[in-house]
Structure 1
Amino acid sequence: MLLHRAKRLSRLIIGLSLIATPTATSFAATSSTQQMFVAGQPGTAALRQMDEQMTLSDIEALVVSLKNDKQYKRMLQKMQADETLAAAKILSALQDTGTLYDVTTTLIQQNAADAQQLVRAAMLLFPVDRYALYHALLADSSLSASQIKSWASSTGVLTNKLYADEAFDSAGIAIEPLIESLSISIVGQSADTRASVYYRRSSQSNGEWQRGKDLQWEPVTANLTGPLVYLEPDTAYELKIRLEQADGSAQTVTRQTATRAETPPIDPDKVYQLSDIYNGGTLDLEALGIEGKPGAWAKIVGNPTLPIVAPDGNKHAIDIGNNSYVYFENITVKGGRTHSVYAEKAHHIWINQCDISDWGRSPNILKNGVAYELEDAQPINYDSAIYLRQTGVVTVENCHVHDPNALANDWRYGHPKGPNAFFAHANHPNPEFKGQVILRNNVFEGKPEHRFNDVVEGRKNGEPLGGFVRDSAIYGNTFRYANDDGIEIDGGQYNVLVYNNEISHSYTGVSAIPTRVGPAFIFNNYIHDWEIKLANSGLL
């Protein structure tokens, strides 16, 4: 339990923003060479232990020892046996002179046949500094881009695109508006560039500029990026961005943009009353052929006297499939053996004023507090009221999600396993539709004796494209009663905003580790009554 308490504290130290920008620390590799690397990396630890008398074999032995060291074992687990010598060569060269890029490329020039081992070894030795190496190799290298991306990806570097190419204009600026916020990303700059942002409504073009937060350097993507928040919906804005370089030169660019409307544009010929299309069972949108298109969404309007109820054994109550541009309004949903509302590789889904309950597998068997449906089955986990798998551009608002069938175990029996209200998995295959999830003004709640695992959980939450992925906003919600997190945004977290929420009766209010990309911004939340329910033993 002490370990769990330490984890809890580390996950609750949250200021106004959480930015995935490492802090560098300096050390002298030799008396004549001063290098800058981020602390806590295996390569940093090796250089601190090395001296000029060590042979290449000695350094390779040091690398092998770090592979077995508890602190670095996980970071080096992808290093193959035939790459330890390449790692030793890199460390030996770093003793003398040069940057990680200079050393790696020089060694490749000396022996091109070892290029793969050298690049992988460098990136595994320096898992934070590898991003700068990756972008430098892409920009200026005799190696092919496909080779570099393949080798980098194999070490865990994000090589897939967060945005479609056309998202960036000719000046390398992309703006992604949501309903009450937007994010700005700029390519082609450097970590030394200062980017000041100002904004005002276009209708007040002669009015005073408001100052936004400076954009942050994001090393994984090599972008300058950041959000503007507390904007008005469906409103045109003028932006002014001043870029100041380290040499004192500067330029100012302006852009016009607009926030999204509070309701999607509906095709009047595709408004469906639930009573006209639903006769019981699972509401299958693919079977019904219900979907819209850009600028002309389909709309399904519920009836309080006609709930959608999944029969026993049906996996979902509403199956969206990969149909897109669909708006649900005022629908009561019950059941679904695993998930109540499900989609896969869809986009532009909007769920408003819906009541969802009674989903998930039945906890017929309890073993040490962990729920099972069947004797020989896996524990019940991840059953979610809303699971939109690999689905982006999603809005869920004004919904009440409550009373799952299963319940989560407490930490005495290991990490909680159990149901979720919302399962974030916004890694759509098309970069245009990644992320862009809005959860606002919802009440997602368990009960004191019947708790979620996480109220909001992220799928593949240790990966750069996990969870909400990018450009998402979670605000104005009430999340309560979980044996782990009120909300988990672990994963990519590129301009993911969590603010103005009330989160209570959970082990952790907001979990944001790991921040594989970032920056994430967590602010102005009311988090209270941290606790976990111990079965038959009260609260802790």
Structure 2
Amino acid sequence: MKYLALAIGLSFSLVSWSYAERPAVPESAVPESTDANAVAFAIPTFHCLGIYWSPAGGAADKEVLMRYRQQGASEWREALPMRYNPIPETDDELTDYRGSIVHLSPATTYEIQLTLAGTATSTSFAATTWSENSPVGEVINIDDRKTPLAITESGTPDAYRVYDGQGATIDVRHKHDHCMTIDASYVIVRNLNLIGAGDEKSTSSKPIGAILVEGGHDIVIEDCDVSDWGRLNPETGFGFNYESAIYSRSDTLQRLVIQRCKLHDPRFDGSNWYEPTYPTHSQGPQCISLFNAGGNHVIRYNECWSDTEHMFNDIIGGGSNGSYRGSPGPDSDIYGNYVSHCWDDGLEVEGGSRNVRVWDNYISQCMMMIGNAADSIGPLYIWRNVCARSQWQPDAKGGYFLKMGFAGGEQWMTGHMYIFHNTVFRSDEWLPTGALGGDRIVKHTVSRNNVLQVRSPENLIISTNKQNSDNDYDYDLFNGQVPEGNEAHGVRGEPRYVAGAGLDPVTKSGFFQLSSDSPGVNAGVIIPNFSDGYTGDAPDIGAHQRGAPPMRYGVSAQPRRF
């Protein structure tokens, strides 16, 4: 009964939407079901499982209850229920219910049990998370060079082909657009310094990538350092838009893992929204750009930074925003990253956002901390991120914690979003001027246990737009304006943190815990699978639970265990 009460207490509401593509059912998803017409399956990453099911009898007033356990364990654990969200307008429907189980261990098989609430309809199946140790086949050592490296030969699922620089440098001296191109599968690229991408004599406006992923799947890019990429756009006097350390427009690209890389200091500056006059959308270099990729990617433990004379447009992003694809693509994870210095979105997770999960990132010196305009399929999960310092231009006001709204039209705002346990941290005077979208349109959003501190008590925490619908805000700690009827259990006030709170810029670690006398202590609500690890009667509001070890980001980070 506790599980059912928690599910009901979150007060989820529902909406219909459409999508045009269904993933293949993995061979490992073999169900045992009381409903012969419903085949449940999972799409894994290292620490998550995206769950899919279309049981007979699904309806807007019936959630799917989820529980899971390691194979062979006796105790079940609860996961967040899945909401009904069918796809009636497509020729090939996805599933009526979609959701994620998070904070799992790699290379581990889990038993999953799904039950249509209020019925006897259920299904059970097993799924295994990815191993962090890819099987290695042939290793090709890469030496220093001044011409691009083209990777076109694939490995196999049982023997990845490894390209290891062992610290070597590829410096193309701005005589070539790319330091490396990849058009192969089952490959690992590691331990390379990549410098000087972007042919300064080129007249093409097509964006370049220091690492250009042209095609393939199951690609790992790790422990690489990329800097000094990009070209000057003579029409603007700034860097060309979207030119990236890692870039791909392959719509078939799946299972790209980018981990423990340092992507920093592009060659040219990006423009802000006031250059030359407001409003002009920012343009310039990025760290990682994926456009309408196939998905199932992982971007983790990277450090992306620059300085105020070499700003990014977005840091990790891409497109298309108003679409059913977008960036980073379905069933993808972004976590453990340190990102800083952009005039638009620190992390851009826009488009379909089907089982896209964003957690444990530190985001600073950005206009919008996380862009989520729009979420057309969902669900999109954003939890335990820490954000600091928001600005539109030097020494000017900030943007929002979450962008919200839409791109291309309100018709793309049909997916669900879950915003849990994030902290907008006051590191200096440059707090955001809006929390959840300013006064943009917001739909199908559930917010719980977030520290939402904005610059002024007059700033909006929750949008008052008359076109808002199907939103549920509660148990947040906030200091700004909240429309009547929201945050029934929320806490109005300003957070107080433990002594020495903040990020150490050298170690990329820090404490963001509330002090014992702060508003928000023991004031959160238990969220299945997302609030694990607390002590006491209830979790603290915010990203960092008291008593937990320091939060770590970037190349030295490790996943938090619950």
Name the TM-score, length of structure 2 as normaliser.
Answer: 0.60
Helix, strand or coil for the counterpart of 2:390? Answer: coil
- Residue 199 (structure 1) aligns with: 68
Helix, strand or coil for the counterpart of 2:317? Answer: strand
Q: Give the partner amino acid of 1:418.
A: G
- Residue 545 (structure 2) aligns with: none
The alpha-carbon deviation at position 169 of structure 1 amounts to 5.3
Segments of 5+ residues of structure 2 without an aligned counterpart are 1-9, 32-37, 88-93, 199-207, 399-562
Of 116, 123, 142, which residue of structure 2 is paired with 1:274? Answer: 142
The reply to whether residue 226 of structure 1 matches residue 99 of structure 2 is yes
The reply to whether residue 303 of structure 1 matches residue 166 of structure 2 is yes
1:12-61: CA deviation from partner (whole Å, max 9, x where unpaired): xxxxxxx9x9767xxxxxxxxxxxxxxxxxxxxxxxxxxxxxxxxxxxxx
1:59-208 superposed matches below 5 A: 131=17, 158-159=19-20, 161-164=21-24, 171-189=38-56, 190-192=58-60, 193-204=62-73, 207-208=74-75
1:71-470 superposed matches below 5 A: 131=17, 158-159=19-20, 161-164=21-24, 171-189=38-56, 190-192=58-60, 193-204=62-73, 207-220=74-87, 221-244=94-117, 248-267=118-137, 270-275=138-143, 279-286=145-152, 290-304=153-167, 306-321=168-183, 323-337=184-198, 338-362=208-232, 365=234, 367=236, 371=238, 380-390=240-250, 391-413=253-275, 414-427=280-293, 434-470=294-330
1:340-367: CA deviation from partner (whole Å, max 9, x where unpaired): 001123211101111111111136x474
Name the TM-score, length of structure 1 as normaliser.
Answer: 0.63
- Structure 1: distance between partners of 2:244 and 2:160: 25
The alpha-carbon deviation at position 295 of structure 1 amounts to 2.0
Q: Give the partner amino acid of 2:151.
A: L
- Structure 1: distance between partners of 2:174 and 2:224: 21
CA-based RMSD of the aligned residues comes to 2.3
The alpha-carbon deviation at position 439 of structure 1 amounts to 0.8
Identity among equivalent positions (%) equals: 27
- Structure 2: distance between partners of 1:202 and 1:426: 35
The alpha-carbon deviation at position 165 of structure 1 amounts to 5.3
RCO (CA 8 Å, sep 6+): is it higher in 1 or 2?
1
Aligned length: 358
Relative to its length, the structure with more helix (as a share) is 1
The alpha-carbon deviation at position 239 of structure 1 amounts to 1.4
1:465-493: CA deviation from partner (whole Å, max 9, x where unpaired): 11122001101111111000101011010
TM-aligned CA distance change 1:523 to 1:202, over 3 Å: same
TM-aligned CA distance change 1:22 to 1:458, over 3 Å: farther
Aligned residues of 1:218 and 1:518 also touching (Cα < 8 A) = no
Q: Give the partner amino acid of 2:281.
A: H
- Structure 2: distance between partners of 1:208 and 1:461: 41
- Residue 336 (structure 2) aligns with: 476
- Residue 54 (structure 1) aligns with: none
The alpha-carbon deviation at position 307 of structure 1 amounts to 0.4
Segments of 5+ residues of structure 1 without an aligned counterpart are 1-18, 25-128, 132-156, 373-379, 428-433
TM-aligned CA distance change 1:23 to 1:182, over 3 Å: closer
Aligned residues of 1:308 and 1:333 also touching (Cα < 8 A) = yes
- Residue 124 (structure 1) aligns with: none
Helix, strand or coil for the counterpart of 2:331? Answer: strand
- Residue 15 (structure 1) aligns with: none
Q: Give the partner amino acid of 1:403.
A: D
Aligned residues of 2:145 and 2:171 also touching (Cα < 8 A) = no
- Structure 1: distance between partners of 2:99 and 2:302: 25
1:29-40 superposed matches below 5 A: none
- Structure 1: distance between partners of 2:288 and 2:371: 15
Aligned residues of 2:182 and 2:215 also touching (Cα < 8 A) = no
The alpha-carbon deviation at position 538 of structure 1 amounts to 6.5
- Structure 2: distance between partners of 1:383 and 1:225: 34
Q: Give the partner amino acid of 2:219.
A: I
- Structure 2: distance between partners of 1:166 and 1:259: 12
Greater CA radius of gyration, 1 or 2?
1
Comparing 468-477 with 330-339, greater Cα deviation is found at 330-339
1:375-395: CA deviation from partner (whole Å, max 9, x where unpaired): xxxxx1000100132222111
Q: Give the partner amino acid of 2:109.
A: A
Aligned residues of 1:407 and 1:453 also touching (Cα < 8 A) = no
TM-aligned CA distance change 1:284 to 1:274, over 3 Å: same
